[in-house]
Structure formats: structure tokens, C-alpha cells
């Protein structure tokens, strides 16, 4: 009991979501397009998953670029300047590098010079984990403003010959700005869980994976490509979602009847409907948009949140629950009492918007100048080496 009490908001500082944004690539890959490259049909994919199409990133649409654009959209709804941000967390399974973090790249491009930045790896639960980490830091008083991003380019880690996985995933990014406020609400409770015994059900092997280091090794095409036991993952997801939501509600001191909307990780319509059934909810109390984007892993919940807000499904004072599940295995739920009326709070302070644009402009200038300087010094070094050689 004492353990549970500890996990609830303890201070009179509350972590509210005050801005949100999403970005998806322009290129649409439909089920019919997939049927032209692998043995499948639109009917099979839609009936087994609920997915009709997904977005696929081009070479310039990287995880960091999509995350950056979503973050800028989220900031544009607020008075927050990049230099006001204290912490940036990017939840992703498809980072630009093992290190440095994608979060550090976004921090640099935004000009968020006062922010700490790191990537968080909890697969499709990552966004809820990241939100909880940021909210805890805000509630403890150690920071005031955080940017939490879920960004993925899943298309780059798919085995396009494996029809059991490549039909499911898509690319995109979503972001929220979290800020300390004294009005009660915002993130009220979180439940984070993991069961590493299922680590081999879903993942992306890299050079250090046990399989790769075993004497037989794994074949090159499987390195950095996703594997998944679809049936087992589905059973796990349908088992944990309901229990996790109930626990988060209990910790927040609300009942299931108080919940206006659940925003689940968008993996499969059958999983979403089974979770709704298990709680006795009508399907429309579970947000679903995977028909258009497929499973965008850590990006799916913030993207679905943005669309739920756009569609007017959430108003000030509503209780909503975000629930994620995925590789690890991991799962996580958080209860939010929505504190920002939409769209009334969208009125942008034009002076602040100008200052933000000025900060972006200065960053761009700085990035370009450092690129030119680097090229110039490379050129000088090359000339010097060549002259040394000639000499
Ligand atoms: N098109 C046509 N047939 C396909 C197919 C495809 N894209 N993918 C698989 N099949 C075939 C299988 O080969 C199998 O054929 P068989 O019976 O001749 O062996 C048959 O369809 C049934 O396969 P099965 O794997 O039992 O289907 P399913 O109903 O479990 O659906 C998934 C497969 C992957 C859609 C489903 O298991 C799933 O969505 N699981 C959850 C995955 C997930 O959400 N992962 C991310 C979590 S974060």
C-alpha cells in the first residue's frame, strides 16, 4: 500500500501536456501496393489487422527529422522557446545511431541549449515510459519543461520478404510538451512493467545480440531486421492491457467509468477490440487510427493522441488513459486528467512565436556555418597532405 501511495503525485506541482504535434511521411503504401510485392491480399491484411495503409519514409525523412518536425509543431502550440526546454526524451527503436542519441541531434537542431537529452528504449511502450520519466522530473521540481517525442522509421528495419511482419508497420513521429503547473491534473499515475522472459518474441538483433555472438551466428540479412512471433505477441498484449489500465486507474483514484478515452498503442485492431471487450468498453472509447498508419511503434500513441484531440474526442477535465505494449516485453499505462482546453489554448503569443522563429534561424545559421567551416578545414587538411606528399 505504501509502495502504491508513493507512485502518485506527491507535491503540488503537476505535469501537464501543453502542446502536441505529429509528422508522418508523405508516401503512402497501401495493402494493394504490398500485394504487388509479397504474397498477400488487401482483404487478408485488413481482416487480420485493421490496417489499410501506412506511411513510408524517404531517404531524407529520418527518425530525427520526423521527430524534429513533430517537436516544432508541438512547440508552436505553446509559448515555450527552445531555450526554455530542460529535458528532451526520444522514445525510439529505430534511432539514427546506437549513440549519440537521436534526442541530442534534435536538441541541437532545435537550439535547445539548456536541455539534457537522451533516447529511451522500451519499444512500443517507449512513449508512455518517456512521458512518465519526464512527468516525474517535473513533479520532483528538478525541471520545469520537457519535450517527449516518439519517433520511428520502422520501414528501414523490416524484412520485406517476411509477410507476417512487414505488413504491420509504418513510419512517423509524435511529440508533446510537458510543463509544470500548479492546477491539479496532468499525469496522475503510471504503471510501468517488463517481462524479459519474452525478449525473444520481438526484436531487432544488432552486433551484440546473443544470437549474433553464438558460434553459428545469424545470417547478414537478419542483422538489424525485425523478427516477431506474431501469435505469442498478440496473446501477451491482450492479456496485459486491461489489467494495466485498471491498475493505473486505481492508482489515480478513479474508476473505469471515469475514463473518457483510452489511447492504446496501435498494433492490431483485434488487440484493441479485445482490450475494449475485456473492460466492458464500447469500441469507440478506444482510439483507433491504425487503419491509416499501421503500427508506428513508439510514435503510435502520440500520433493517435494528436488525432483524438483534432477530432475533439478529448476536452478539459476529461480523464484519458494511454497504454503501450511491445518488445522487451514491456507494457505501460498512464492516466491523464486533461488540463488544457482545446482549441481555446491554441492562441499563440505572436511575440513569442517570433522569438522562437529567431532562435530556429540562428540555429540553422550556426549549423550551416559549422558545416562550411568543417568542409573548409577538411579542404585545407587535404591540400596540406597532398603538398606534403608532393614535396
Ligand atoms: N498475407 C497472407 N497470409 C499471411 C500473411 C499475409 N501477410 N501473413 C501470414 N499469413 C498466413 C500464414 O502463413 C498462415 O498460413 P498457414 O496457415 O498456411 O501457415 C496464416 O496466414 C495464418 O497465420 P497466423 O500467423 O496464424 O495469422 P494471425 O491471425 O495470427 O495473424 C498477425 C498474424 C501477425 C497479423 C498477428 O499475429 C498479429 O498481429 N500479432 C500481433 C503482432 C503485433 O502486434 N506486434 C507488435 C506488437 S508491439
pLDDT one-digit tens code per residue, 51-81? 999 999 999 999 999 999 999 999 999 999 9
| Strand, coil or helix: 148 | strand
For the Cβ of 190 lying below 6 angstroms from any atom of ligand 1, the answer is no
For the Cβ of 124 lying below 6 angstroms from any atom of ligand 1, the answer is yes
Residue 199: active-site member: no
- 129, 61, 49, 55: which is closest to 92 by C-alpha? 129
pLDDT score of 185 more than 70: yes
What cell was used for 51? 490496417
Residue 249: active-site member: no
What contacts 24+ positions apart, CB below 8 Å, involve 235-240?
236/195, 236/198, 236/201, 236/325, 236/329, 237/267, 237/268, 237/271, 237/275, 237/325, 237/331, 238/271, 238/274, 238/275, 238/278, 240/193, 240/325, 240/331
The per-residue pLDDT for 4 is: 44
The per-residue pLDDT for 271 is: 96
Question: Pairing state of beta strands 330-337 and 319-326?
Answer: antiparallel
For the Cβ of 227 lying below 6 angstroms from any atom of ligand 1, the answer is no
The per-residue pLDDT for 97 is: 94
pLDDT one-digit tens code per residue, 165-184? 999 999 999 999 999 999 99
CB 27 within 8 A of CB 55: yes
Q: Return d(Cα 238, Cα 274) in angstroms, integer.
A: 6
For the Cβ of 163 lying below 6 angstroms from any atom of ligand 1, the answer is yes
Question: For the chain, which residues make up each domain, given as ranges?
Answer: 9-345
Residue 265: active-site member: yes
Average pLDDT over residues 119-144: 97
Average pLDDT over residues 115-133: 98
For the Cβ of 51 lying below 6 angstroms from any atom of ligand 1, the answer is no
The per-residue pLDDT for 14 is: 95
For the Cβ of 244 lying below 6 angstroms from any atom of ligand 1, the answer is no
Positive or negative CA dihedral for 139, 141, 145, 147?
negative
Candidate list 31, 108, 268, 295, residue with the active-site label: 295
Q: In the structure, what pLDDT confidence band is assigned to residue 6 with cuts at 50, 70 and 90?
A: very low
Distance from Cα 327 to the centre of ligand 1, integer Å? 17
The per-residue pLDDT for 222 is: 76
Average pLDDT over residues 298-325: 97
CB 314 within 8 A of CB 308: yes
Q: In the structure, what pLDDT confidence band is assigned to residue 390 with cuts at 50, 70 and 90?
A: low
Taking each continuous run of H as one helix and of E as one strand, the counts in the chain are: 12, 13
The per-residue pLDDT for 341 is: 60
The backbone torsions φ and ψ at residue 194, rounded to the nearest 5 degrees and listed phi first, read: -150, 150
The per-residue pLDDT for 371 is: 86
Q: Return d(Cα 306, Cα 388) in angstroms, integer.
A: 59
Task: Please state, for a pLDDT cut of 90, what percent of the chain lies above it.
Answer: 77
The lowest-confidence range among 223-237, 240-254, 366-380 is 366-380
**Protein residue with its CA nearest to atom 44 in ligand 1:** 267
Candidate list 16, 124, 166, 268, residue with the active-site label: 124
Give the residue with greater pLDDT, 267 vs 350: 267
DSSP lists the bridge partners of residue 17 as 178
The per-residue pLDDT for 382 is: 75
| H or E, element range at 120 | strand 116-120
pLDDT score of 384 more than 90: no
For the Cβ of 100 lying below 6 angstroms from any atom of ligand 1, the answer is no
Topology, domain 9-345: Peroxisomal Thiolase; Chain A, domain 1 (3.40.47)
pLDDT one-digit tens code per residue, 333-361? 999 999 876 554 455 677 888 888 888 99
- 233, 241, 283, 247: which is closest to 265 by C-alpha? 241
The backbone torsions φ and ψ at residue 132, rounded to the nearest 5 degrees and listed phi first, read: -65, -45
Provide the 8-state DSSP code for 169: B
CB 98 within 8 A of CB 295: no
Atom of ligand 1 nearest to the CA of 270: 39
pLDDT one-digit tens code per residue, 132-169? 999 999 999 999 999 999 999 999 999 998 999 999 99
**Protein residue with its CA nearest to atom 26 in ligand 1:** 231
The per-residue pLDDT for 5 is: 41
The alpha carbon of residue 97 and the mean position of all alpha carbons in its chain are separated, in whole angstroms, by 17
Distance from Cα 231 to the centre of ligand 1, integer Å? 7
Task: Please state, for a pLDDT cut of 70, what percent of the chain lies above it.
Answer: 91
For the Cβ of 122 lying below 6 angstroms from any atom of ligand 1, the answer is no
CB 42 within 8 A of CB 32: yes
The alpha carbon of residue 339 and the mean position of all alpha carbons in its chain are separated, in whole angstroms, by 21
As a dihedral over the C-alpha atoms of residue 245, residue 330, residue 266, residue 68, rounded to 10 degrees, the angle is: 110
Distance from Cα 289 to the centre of ligand 1, integer Å? 20
Task: Round the average pLDDT of the chain to a whole number and report it.
Answer: 91
Average pLDDT over residues 97-118: 96
Average pLDDT over residues 242-267: 97
Amino acid at each position: 500500500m505504501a509502495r502504491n501511495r508513493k507512485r502518485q503525485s506527491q507535491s503540488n506541482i503537476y505535469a501537464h501536456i501543453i502542446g502536441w504535434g505529429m509528422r508522418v511521411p508523405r508516401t503512402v503504401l497501401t495493402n494493394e501496393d504490398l500485394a504487388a510485392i509479397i504474397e498477400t491480399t488487401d482483404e487478408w491484411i485488413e481482416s487480420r489487422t485493421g490496417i489499410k495503409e501506412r506511411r513510408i519514409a524517404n531517404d531524407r525523412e529520418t527518425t530525427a527529422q520526423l521527430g524534429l518536425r513533430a517537436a516544432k509543431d508541438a512547440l508552436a502550440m505553446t509559448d515555450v522557446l527552445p531555450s526554455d526546454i530542460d529535458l528532451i526524451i526520444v522514445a525510439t527503436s529505430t534511432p539514427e545511431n546506437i549513440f549519440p542519441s537521436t534526442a541530442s541531434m534534435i536538441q541541437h537542431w532545435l537550439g535547445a541549449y539548456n536541455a539534457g537529452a537522451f533516447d529511451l528504449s522500451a519499444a512500443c511502450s517507449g512513449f508512455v515510459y518517456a512521458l512518465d520519466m519526464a512527468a516525474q522530473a517535473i513533479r520532483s521540481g528538478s525541471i520545469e519543461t520537457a519535450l517527449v517525442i516518439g519517433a520511428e522509421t520502422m520501414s528501414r528495419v523490416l524484412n520485406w520478404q517476411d509477410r507476417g511482419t512487414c505488413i504491420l508497420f509504418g513510419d512517423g513521429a509524435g511529440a508533446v510538451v510537458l510543463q509544470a503547473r500548479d492546477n491539479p491534473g496532468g499525469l496522475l499515475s503510471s504503471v510501468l512493467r517488463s517481462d524479459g522472459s519474452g525478449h525473444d518474441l520481438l526484436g531487432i538483433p544488432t552486433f551484440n545480440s546473443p544470437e549474433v555472438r553464438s558460434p553459428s551466428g545469424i545470417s547478414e540479412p537478419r542483422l538489424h531486421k525485425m523478427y516477431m512471433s506474431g501469435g505469442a505477441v498478440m496473446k501477451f498484449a491482450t492479456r496485459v492491457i486491461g489489467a494495466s489500465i485498471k491498475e493505473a486507474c486505481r492508482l489515480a483514484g478513479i474508476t473505469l467509468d471515469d475514463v473518457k478515452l483510452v489511447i492504446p498503442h496501435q498494433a492490431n485492431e483485434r488487440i484493441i477490440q479485445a482490450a475494449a471487450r475485456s473492460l466492458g468498453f464500447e469500441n469507440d472509447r478506444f482510439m483507433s487510427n491504425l487503419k491509416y498508419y499501421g503500427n508506428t511503434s513508439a510514435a503510435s500513441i502520440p500520433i493517435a493522441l494528436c488525432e483524438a484531440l483534432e477530432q475533439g474526442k478529448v476536452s478539459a477535465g476529461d480523464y484519458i488513459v494511454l497504454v503501450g505494449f511491445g518488445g522487451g516485453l514491456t507494457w505501460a499505462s498512464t492516466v491523464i486528467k486533461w488540463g488544457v482546453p482545446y482549441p481555446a489554448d491554441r492562441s499563440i503569443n505572436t511575440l513569442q512565436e517570433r522569438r522562437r522563429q529567431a532562435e530556429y534561424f540562428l540555429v540553422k545559421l550556426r549549423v550551416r556555418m559549422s558545416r562550411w567551416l568543417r568542409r573548409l578545414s577538411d579542404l585545407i587538411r587535404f591540400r596540406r597532405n597532398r603538398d606534403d606528399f608532393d614535396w
